[in-house]
Amino acid sequence: MVQALLAGILVSVACAVAGTFMILRGLAFIGDALGHGVLPGIAVAVLVGFPGIVGAAIGAAFMIGGITLITQRSRLSSDTAIGLLFIGMLSLGVVIVSRSNSFTGDLTRILFGEILGISKQSILIQLGASVVVVITAIICARPFLLLSFDPEQAEVAGFSARFYHNVMLFLIALTVIVSFQTVGTLLVFGLLIAPAGAGALLARRIETMMGWAALFGVLSMYTGLLISYHLQLAAGASIILVSVFVFFVVFVMQNLRHRRVKITQGVKHES
Amino acid sequence: MSHKRVNSITSPGALVKEGLVAESSGIPFISARNLTIGYAGEIVVRDINFDLPPGQAIALIGTNGSGKSTLLKTIVGLIPPIAGQITVFGKSPGTSHARIAYLGQYHPSGFVLPLRVIDVVRMGRYPVYGLLGRMGKKDEEIIREAMRLMGIEHLADRPLRSLSGGQQQRTYLAQVLAHQADLLVLDEPTAGLDAAGRDLYLHAINDELCRGASIVVATHDIHEEAAMCHQVMLLARKVVALGSPAEVLTPEALLETFGIIISSEKRIQVLECQHGHDGSEQTGSGKSGH
């Protein structure tokens, strides 16, 4: 349980940073696609006896390469390219898994995570990745901010829009790769989007958005783990459910508050 | 009141003939020779020739799609020139980042970002410091001053997305001013501004010119903004005319630039007032009431 929580906190921090930029840059679809697209990589890795994380990395690299290639060499928009790669890789993963008999137990772990059985080695890898994500984000704060604000502005300011876009994709991919073991490839996207989304509702600044996202992430991890432990539910899905629930709580509270502000302003106006 | 100040300092053509000619003896900030601009596979304007000396302003006038934005993007290095030569500060475009401030016409995602006004204005200092250069107290002062010049100091901590369109435009302009660049490249900077905002803007760019900066501005404001520039270029997928405002802003040249648009009676009246400076304030469309 302690190890699971530790892993949860590390993953929450990485997801808060990567998820914030993912939302700000409008890269949610690619985040989702990466979560699912790594499946064939993991399946092949498990099949030949490599660590799943290596396969995930190869799968992610393949996806980003493919998306970039299609977007640059055709008139198709990036969401079409992402959709194609996403569904292609997912099907490939399912085909590989269905061909092999040795997958039944592993498959559940790949799809739904194994946060309760997470190894020390995995936690160390997650620690390393989280440090890389946070440091990269600090170094690239200016170009990331400009890029989210207006890519042309970034370019004119001397920050290559394409290069920093790729750095951002790398951060999202790295986060997905090290996070899938906690909640599984099916649900890892939830960790990227739900806490950062709730943070976006509350924050006036990007730093505070990340702070909220990390807080909500850790909160969801802890609550989700507790619920799954006591009610004997799937851990990964419980965590994601809690995080989405947190989003809606924040959303409703925000709307109630706005309405109250409007009403008080109306009263002031009349008096 | 403030209009008068702007007009008195920069009445059309006056600066071109007097003081600033001497300054132009140095290398021009922008120099274009037989420049052809456009996008891959589509030429927008051929054969552009002009020099922009330090401390001078050039206005680009034309309808939508006439090539104004394309020329601006070529100058800042966002799109490569198709043929001919263009140098910016004696180098190829897109290499002197620290010296150029650019205001684009569209701000794709400015609305959803959790950014305060001051954060947006602060971005204007990024090109000066690059990836990791540390900003100090002086920068904060410059940022405050830029917000003050655009009249948005009291909005500093407000989220950008909560502001009106005009207030957002003021914020983007404050960002440009905060850069303290040598060359300002502005695409329709007064779009969405109210009369007070336009006044502040005209004052601010006048100050920038006095500081020695040069300005390239795409504008529809023939009456005031273009008139206070040293050169005016009329564009209609070709260079219709280039010269001082007095030479270029003639009804004939404008007719060719704008085609049908000019045919409204009232519009022609306004433009003719431009040439007899005195009456322009009274007949200027809706600007006197403030």
Ordered per-residue pLDDT tens for chain B, 290 residues: 333 344 434 444 333 333 343 344 478 899 999 999 998 878 999 999 999 999 999 999 988 888 999 999 999 999 999 999 999 998 899 888 899 999 988 776 555 778 899 999 999 999 989 888 888 899 999 999 999 999 999 999 998 888 888 999 999 999 999 999 999 999 999 988 999 999 999 999 999 999 999 999 998 888 878 888 999 999 988 898 899 888 888 887 888 787 744 444 544 434 433 333 333 333 333 333 33
The pLDDT score that the predictor gives to residue B1 is: 37
Minimal Cα–Cα distance from A26 to chain B, Å?
9
Which chain B residues are Cβ-neighbours of A24 within 8 angstroms?
Answer: 109, 112-113
Contact A115, A181 (CB under 8 A): yes
| Most B-contacting residue of A24, A139, A155, A156 (CB-CB within 10 A), to test interface | A156
The pLDDT score that the predictor gives to residue B15 is: 39
Task: Scan residues 50-69 of A and list those with Cβ closer than 8 Å to B.
Answer: none
The rounded radius of gyration (Å) of the Cα atoms in chain B is 19
The pLDDT score that the predictor gives to residue A58 is: 92
Of the candidates A152, A157, A205, the beta carbon closest to that of B116 is on A205
The whole-chain average pLDDT of chain A stands at 88
* Interior angle at CA B37, CA B35 and CA B42, nearest 5: 140
The pLDDT score that the predictor gives to residue B4 is: 38
Query: Hey, what CATH class is B2-250 in?
Result: alpha beta
* Interior angle at CA A37, CA A32 and CA A43, nearest 5: 135
**What is the Cα–Cα distance from B244 to B253, expressed in whole angstroms?**
13
- Between A271 and A53, the more confident residue is A53
pLDDT digits over A193-214, tens only? Answer: 999 999 999 998 889 999 999 9
The pLDDT score that the predictor gives to residue B271 is: 41
The pLDDT score that the predictor gives to residue B108 is: 64
Q: Does A73 touch chain B (CB under 8 A)?
A: no
The pLDDT score that the predictor gives to residue A110 is: 80
**What is the Cα–Cα distance from B185 to B59, expressed in whole angstroms?**
10
Minimal Cα–Cα distance from B106 to chain A, Å?
9
3-class secondary structure per residue, B102-135: EECCCCCCCCCCCCEHHHHHHHHHHHHHCCCCCC
Q: Does A157 touch chain B (CB under 8 A)?
A: yes
Q: Does the domain spanning A2-270 belong to CATH 3.30.450.20?
A: no
Q: Does A75 touch chain B (CB under 8 A)?
A: no
- With CB atoms and an 8 Å threshold, state whether B110 touches A152: no
pLDDT of A70 over the 50 cut: yes
The pLDDT score that the predictor gives to residue B109 is: 57
Q: Does A207 touch chain B (CB under 8 A)?
A: no
**What is the Cα–Cα distance from A164 to B131, expressed in whole angstroms?**
11
- With CB atoms and an 8 Å threshold, state whether A157 touches B97: yes
The pLDDT score that the predictor gives to residue B273 is: 33
Q: Does B41 touch chain A (CB under 8 A)?
A: no
B201 token code pair: 């803007």
- With CB atoms and an 8 Å threshold, state whether B98 touches A158: yes
The average pLDDT across A124-150 equals 93
Q: Does B1 touch chain A (CB under 8 A)?
A: no
- With CB atoms and an 8 Å threshold, state whether A139 touches B132: yes
Task: Scan residues 79-118 of B and list those with Cβ closer than 8 Å to A.
Answer: 94, 97-98, 100, 102, 104, 107-110, 112-116
One-letter amino acid of A186:
L
Q: Are strands B231-235 and B239-243 parallel, antiparallel or unpaired?
A: antiparallel
The pLDDT score that the predictor gives to residue B185 is: 95
- Domain boundaries defined on chain A: 2-270
**What is the Cα–Cα distance from B237 to B239, expressed in whole angstroms?**
7
- Domain boundaries defined on chain B: 2-250
The pLDDT score that the predictor gives to residue B7 is: 40
Which chain A residues are Cβ-neighbours of B130 within 8 angstroms?
Answer: 142, 158
- With CB atoms and an 8 Å threshold, state whether A152 touches B78: yes
The pLDDT score that the predictor gives to residue A57 is: 92
Which chain A residues are Cβ-neighbours of B108 within 8 angstroms?
Answer: 150-151
Q: Does A150 touch chain B (CB under 8 A)?
A: yes
The average pLDDT across A204-225 equals 93
The pLDDT score that the predictor gives to residue A268 is: 54
List all residues 6 or more positions away from A11 whose beta carbon is below 8 Å from its beta carbon: A126, A130, A175, A178, A179, A182, A191, A217, A221
